[in-house]
Structure 1
Amino acid sequence: MSVTSSAPAARTALVTGGSRGIGAAIALRLAQDGADVAITYVANEDAAQEVVRKIEATGRRGLALRADSADPADAAGVVERTVAGLGGRLDILVNNAGIGLLGPLEYFPVADVGQLLAVNVQGVFLTTQAAATKLARGGRIVTIGSCMAQRVPGPGGTLYATSKAALIGLTKALARELGERGITANIVHPGPIDTDMNPADGPYAAGQSAMTALGRFGAADEVASMVAFLSSDEAAYVTGAEFSVDGGHAA
């Protein structure tokens, strides 16, 4: 009698805002670690498909989904679309999609306040809420916060810092609510990271570098490494925690 063994099914991950920068680096790293990965994008389909091509080059499956995190239906629905498109399961959720608006507190239009909170807080909550119905035991939720949730070094960041600080409370509450199911929830706070939105050679880069203990910008891959660890089996006893990948910005 012969016994046929089959390899365990690949894990499936959803990375919101995964078409560029930190999100793209996270998506590719998870694929390199053996996961099939869906990413969301708002407008740049070409960039999203390029990330999918890189994912597929690792031998994993990739999926690009257009979704606006400010739209409640999109934010929640992207989970079902991921499960349907990548084999009926979800193991990892990375809440990366977000926008940044800086400016004097007294001049923020109500529309800007609503838009930023819709993406950075409501969208994260709704996507996570939907994911909680799909994640099996051992699932992982990693949310991308910001160094400005821990230290605001100057004026102009009140609204943005408010939105990212809200995610700390969400993460701690998720750890308590989902812990009995073996699902972990953690938050990663990037500092100044070299991306197309905030390049290390940009006009404000020198000041940002000076705020860190290491005196430099970080790389998107450095954030992705932390997310990959928190998404792994090695981090099974890590939950409700904050991790700074900020070069000492909060030190």
Structure 2
Amino acid sequence: MTTLTSALRTVNVTRYVTPLREGGSLPAIAEADDDFLYVLKFRGAGQGTKALIAEIIGGELARTLGFKVPEIVFANLDTAFGRTEPDEEIQDLLKASVGLNLALHYLSGAITFDAVVTRPSALLASQIVWLDCLITNVDRTPRNTNMLMWHKELWLIDHGAALYFHHSWDNWQEQATRPFVQIKDHVLLPWATELDAVDVQFKTILTKDKIREIVGLIPDEWLDDETLTAAEKREVYIRFLLTRLAASAIFIEEAKNAREKRF
């Protein structure tokens, strides 16, 4: 099982290669000063740093649970970067994203997961469905699986749409114990028949200390605003995840019911 490091590496973006025109956030393939290519996700995009926070938490929870996830790094964008970019939309995005952004190691040659071509085991499908119920990830549907096949292994990517409770902090306690009704659209739900066994296994791995360690990776500058301090927001993320773990029977039952209705 992959072990979470105590900190994410930081790289400096040196070259903008090409945009990935998927959705409204305009991520890009970029090169960094370590000579690797990354999928760069910008703080100046539509959902701002909240999408980057969800990416860190979702991705590192997945890694802790043993899933294949591309390395996540912090990516510094200099003020001079992108001045010669001819596309005005991209130039505006780069200007709005100066400073600390997020990037995932680019898996060159990877192909989009297709459930028709590659059928996962019941255990793996159940593990991924369980994770997405925990983090309320709405973005793992047949239309947009956010999974890749690379060297014949399944990799999880793009968790920026998860943890949507943080777009409204007022009722996070209520949202933490809600069923995840969007699970009915999950691409792997047909094979997720081992959710109870996965629940027992994964709850022994995701300890309070491990969750606190993962949430602790989030930079203060991405958390501070006029309503809550960085420390207060970090504590909300921790309590949300712990509350959701304690109430996992609710989202497991919702997933089981959704599966019975669909199949």
TM-score after normalising by structure 1:
0.29
